[in-house]
Structure 1
Amino acid sequence: MINREAKAGYVRPTPTGETRSTGVLNYNSVEGQSTAMNAQVALNADGKFSIDTAEGGGRLTSSSTSRATS
C-alpha cells in the first residue's frame, strides 16, 4: 500500500458478500510512504474478496499478488 495523502487509516479484506471481518490492517499517516501488508483471506463461493477502507483515511494505491493453494 502507498498512502497518497497524509492520513492514517486501515484496510479490511473480507470475502465478498459475507460478514465483515473484525481484523484490520493499519497504515500510517505519512504521505507517499509505502506500507507492507500481508493477509490470508477466505474467498467467497465465486472466488472473490473485497477490501473495505477507513472512512476519512488516506487515498491508497496497491499492487497484489495472489497464489491459490490446495
Structure 2
Amino acid sequence: MAVSLSPALAECPFCGCREFAIRLQVSGVIREIYRFDGQVADNSGMWDSAQTRQQDKHAYCRDCERPIGQVVGQ
C-alpha cells in the first residue's frame, strides 16, 4: 500500500525526521503463539485477522508527532 502526503515532503519540516505515521483504528482478535518451553514462537502472522480503518486524514511525524500533512492516494 503506497501512501503519499499533501504537501509532498521529503522530511518533517519541524524536526527533519524522514518517516511519518498515520493513525489507524484496529479491531479483531489476535493470537500470540508460544512454545512449550515458554518462549515466544513465530508470531509474524499475528495481525493477519485484525481489521484496520484509517482514523483521520492527517499524517504525523514519527519523532515529534506533529501533524505534517494530509494523506492522499489511499
TM-score relative to the length of structure 2:
0.28
Q: Which structure has the greater CA radius of gyration?
A: 2
TM-score relative to the length of structure 1:
0.29
